[in-house]
Amino acid sequence: MSLIIMEINCKIATLTLSNPSKLNSLSKGLVDELVQALKTCAEENELVVLLKAEANKHNVWSAGHDIYELPEGRRDPLSFFDSIEVLLREVQNYPGPVIAVVRGSVWGAACDLIMTCDMVYADTTATFAITPAKIGVPYNVTGIMHFMNRIGLNRAKEMFYTARPVDAETAAAWGILNHLYDIDELDGKVMEIAEQICQNSPLAVGVIKEQFHYLSETEVSMPPILYERISGLRRKVYDSHDYAEGIQSFKEKRKPIYLGK
C-alpha cells in the first residue's frame, strides 16, 4: 500500500491516511486501499481499528472528495457503488469498533466518514465541515442520515446549509466527538480506550455494534414513493447548471456563479 499506512499492535490496527501532498483527499486510490486494509484487518480478527491521518503543512486531516474525480454532470456523484459509499459501508460493517482520531480540519466526504465511525476523539485543533452545498453537490440520503443520527436534525441542517466549519469545542458539545483532548493527550487516551475494548469479548462487541447499526437505521421509515422523489430531486441537481458550475469553479479556483437552475 502506498496511500495507507497499517500498523498492528495486540488486536489494535492503526490505519493512517498518507497522502499529505493532496491533503489526504479521499481519491479512489486512497479509498480503495483503505477498504482493502479494513478487509485485511477483519480477516485477521483485529478487534479495534484506529483511523488517523498523516500530518501536512495545512493541518488538514482530510480534504474530503477529490473534486477532480467527481463526474462533470449527468451522473449521480454519490451513487451506491462509488468508492466512498463502499468505504462508508465497510466502516459500518466492520466487526469491531472503528475509531476516528482527529487532528486538524475535516472537510466534505471525510466529515461523513467521521460520522460513520463508531467513535470519534479529537484534539483542540480539529474542525469539521460538510460542504456539498458549496460546490452544488446533491448529498445522498444515507449521508444525511449519518449526520442526523449523530447530531440531530437542527444541527445537521446548520452544518449542511452553511457549510461552515464546526470547531472542536462545539463538535464535542454537539456529540460529533466522544471526547475532546489536549494536543499532547490525544494518542495516549485513545490507546487506553482501545486497550480497554480489547479486554472485552470480541463476539459481544461485534454483535452490539451490529445492533447499534440496525437500530439507528430503523429510526426513520419512509414510504417507497418518497425514496423515488428524493432520487428525482437529486438527479435534478446533478443534471443542473449549478452542479457543473460548482465543479468547474473549484477547478478554476474562483467563486461559483450559481443561477439556481
Whether pLDDT at 239 is above 80? no
Rounded distance, CA 73 to CA 88, Å? 23
pLDDT value for 8: 96
pLDDT value for 221: 61
Q: What is the pLDDT of residues 158-210, one digit of tens each?
A: 999 999 999 999 999 999 999 999 999 999 999 999 999 999 988 889 888 98
Rounded distance, CA 174 to CA 254, Å? 32
pLDDT value for 117: 97
| Residue owning grid cell 501536512 | 56
Report the relative pairing of strands 105-107 and 4-9 from DSSP bridges: unpaired
> What is the pLDDT averaged over residues 215-236?
68
Give the confidence band of 139 by pLDDT, cuts at 50, 70, 90: confident
pLDDT value for 219: 53
Least confident segment among 122-126, 173-177, 204-208, 244-248: 244-248
For the chain, give the mean pLDDT.
89
> What is the pLDDT averaged over residues 227-235?
71
Give the confidence band of 227 by pLDDT, cuts at 50, 70, 90: low
pLDDT value for 130: 96
Looking at the chain, the whole-number percentage of residues with pLDDT higher than 90 is: 64
Rounded distance, CA 104 to CA 122, Å? 9
Give the confidence band of 70 by pLDDT, cuts at 50, 70, 90: confident
Q: What is the pTM of this model?
A: 0.85
